[in-house]
Structure 1
Amino acid sequence: MTDDLPDLLRIAEQAVGLGYDIIKNTTPSEIRLKSDRDTVTDVDLKIENEVREFLRRMTPAAGFLGEEEASTASLDGDQDVWTLDPVDGTSNFAHGLPLCAVSLALVRGGAPVVAAMVAPFLNLRYLAAKGHGAFGNGVRIRVSATTELSQSIVSIGDYAVGDEAAAKNERRIRLTTLLAERVERIRMFGSAALDLAWVAEGRTDAAVIMANKPWDTAAGVLLAREAGANVVDATGAAHSFTSSETIAVNPHIQRSLLSLTSKIPKGHS
């Protein structure tokens, strides 16, 4: 397996291209519940299977961690691990909403070093490699230059479903209330991948996601970092896969934003 990040990025770009084509050309024929209000479609499974097999051929020494099928790959070991969300925003996709993405990252030494993401219905493609910058549709992207929280658009992650959703949502509702009093607008796109990519691209000024599943966040975290965002938890500590939250923010408004997130009670993510 090559250690060259540009080579690995080209492999990642080809891999998410498979997902792009499947989403654009396939209507889901099976939608089922994985758990309380959490759906999966046959398209999610098809993409994960095809991307996993492609990566296995191209990078046989790497591990694989996908959202839909069990894996024993460890993100904090010595092995390189691909982590994939085949359709980030499945609920959007299943309802015919275009806000969804295929999100793939290569994790090395506990941090993402390669990221590829596509939003097929929006014709958006994002790429990043550690130390090589972040790109959207072939053009280098940078975070916004907004300096005031009151002039900022901040996206937030979905409210929780499933076990202990009520307890988890107490924190999310508190976050929403704090932001609503101080930012220009709040947005909920329903895709953590797009939340982070759009901070990287400067479409939004920050994203606050009260969760941290690697298949949801790994690619977007690298995109945001390579585009000049700071990626932290609610206390301002550097983000890792053990963080409770994933916050990507334009550095100009970080202090103001974290003054709000620090008021959110500790609890379930």
Structure 2
Amino acid sequence: MLNSFTDASVAGLMPELRAVMREAAAIAKPFFRHGSQTTARIWSKAGGSPVTEADVAVDTFLKIRLSEMVPQAAWLSEETADDPARIGRDLVWIVDPIDGTRAFLSGHPDWSIAVALLYKGEPLIGFVHAPALGVAYEAVRGQGAFRDEQKIVVDPRTTLRSARITGPKPMLDRLTRGAGPDPDFVRIDRIPSLALRLVRVAEGSVDVGMISSDARDWDLAAADLILREAGGLVGTMNGQATVYNRPEPIHGELVALPTALRDPVIAAWGA
């Protein structure tokens, strides 16, 4: 239970959170079939987005266990009806029980379970677990970013030349046009899970991750902290940082990148 906000008390949550995330992965993974359709029951939410029994099972499990860990925290999740009481609360859990549901449905391994704890609107803890890949990323504010408990940092490049980029094709095309003659970008296949798109920038395997409008807090908050702690950022195309726990937790076009590439990307985008 979190009773104070010292570095030690926040870091003290991590062993239990790691165990909770492993249990959540164990709930989801039996429904996943690599390269094949999921065994989970599927239905459509309002708006047509798919949801599976795995999403609901993981969400229910996490709401119980995370609420036990920090009882004073409010809750915002993709699969739970939004409670306006979260607005103005200092502590908020933000959860995506399966980020990349379409990938999960089709047998693509790039899906994840993403959990963030906000304190006064800023991510305090971020955890992104990719069960089908067997990797986990985590961060506590001010204490670095880690993949499987090994420290990670963004790629140290300072120019866009030969950068590895990923995201929606229209956004990549615009960035390429604005980057000048022959930027020699390496285009990486789009990563279905937004959380994984961000943490791959954090670990240095991707340089620029583009995100189309309509992403939600639960897609971003956990990986945002991991990226920040690794030396990067996720923000708007004019350089503004993301803001969380607003009444409508919806975002416009965003980009995830190392801090050193912020100005070159903004310049290329606006060219």
**How would you bin the TM-score normalised by the shorter chain?**
0.7 to 0.9
- Aligned match of 1:225: 228
The residue type paired with residue 10 of structure 1 is P
| Structure 2 counterpart of 1:244, from 245, 252, 265 | 252
- CA 1:144–1:76 in structure 2 vs 1: closer, same or farther (change >3 Å)? farther
Cα shift at 1:238:
2.3
Aligned counterparts of 1:237 and 1:74: Cα–Cα separation in 2: 26
Whole-angstrom CA distance in 2 between matches of 1:144 and 1:35: 40
Please give the secondary structure, in 1, of the residue aligned with 2:132. Answer: helix
TM-score by length of 2: 0.84
Aligned-pair distance for 1:35? Answer: 4.2
Q: Deviations over 1:122-177 (max 9, x none)?
A: 111111000011100110000012233131112225xxxxxxxxxxxxxx72x232
Distance 1:192 1:155 in 2: 11
Residues 236-258 of structure 1: per-residue CA shift (max 9 Å, x gap): 12222365333221123222211
Does the residue aligned with 1:125 lie in a helix, a strand or coil?
strand
Question: What corresponds to 2:191 in structure 1?
Answer: 189
Quote the residue 1:141 is aligned against.
Answer: 152
Contact 2:124/2:140 (8 A) holds in 1: yes
* 2:59–2:97 Cα contact (<8 Å) kept: yes
C-alpha contact 1:152 1:205 (8 A) present in aligned 2:
yes
Q: CA contact under 8 A between 2:116 and 2:222: conserved in structure 1?
A: yes
Displacement of 1:216 in angstroms is 0.5
Residue 205 of structure 1: how far off its partner (Å): 0.6
**Residues in 2 aligned to 1:19 and 1:11: alpha-carbon distance in whole angstroms:** 12
Aligned partner of residue 225 in structure 1, secondary structure: helix
One-letter amino acid of the counterpart of residue 234, structure 1: M
Secondary structure of 1:258's partner?
Answer: helix
Match of 2:173 among 174, 177, 188: 177
Give the deviation of 1:113 after TM superposition: 0.6
Give the aligned partner of residue 264 of structure 2.
Answer: 256
1:96-111 to structure 2, matched below 5 A, reads: 96-111=107-122
Q: Distance in 2 between matches of 1:73 and 1:203?
A: 38
SS of the equivalent of 1:224 reads helix
Deviation at 1:221, TM superposition (A): 0.4
Q: d(CA) in 2 for partners of 1:153 and 1:219?
A: 22
Matches within 5 A, 1:25-64: 25-27=30-32, 28-64=39-75
> Partners in 2 of 1:72 and 1:262 — Cα distance?
38
| 1:76, distance to aligned residue in structure 2 (A) | 5.1
Question: 1-side partners of 2:262 and 2:94: how far apart?
Answer: 28
Unaligned stretches of 5+ in structure 2? Answer: 33-38, 178-182
Letter in 2 for 1:179: L
What is the match of residue 121 of structure 1?
132
1:10 aligns with 2:15: yes
Offset at residue 118 of structure 1 (A)? 0.6
SS at 1:237 equivalent: coil
Gaps of 5+ in 1: 158-171, 264-269
- Superposed CA offset, 1:174-202 (max 9, x none): x2322344433253111110011101100
Give the secondary-structure state (helix, strand or coil) at the position aligned to 1:150.
coil
| 1:77 maps onto 2:73 in alignment | no
Deviation, 1:41, is 0.6
Runs of at least 4 residues of structure 1 off by over 6 A?
none
1:166 paired residue number: none
- Distance across 2 between alignment mates of 1:244 and 1:250: 20
**Amino acid in structure 2 at the alignment position of 1:218:** A
Give the SS at the match of 1:122.
coil
Verify the 8 A CA contact 2:144 2:230 in the aligned structure 1.
yes
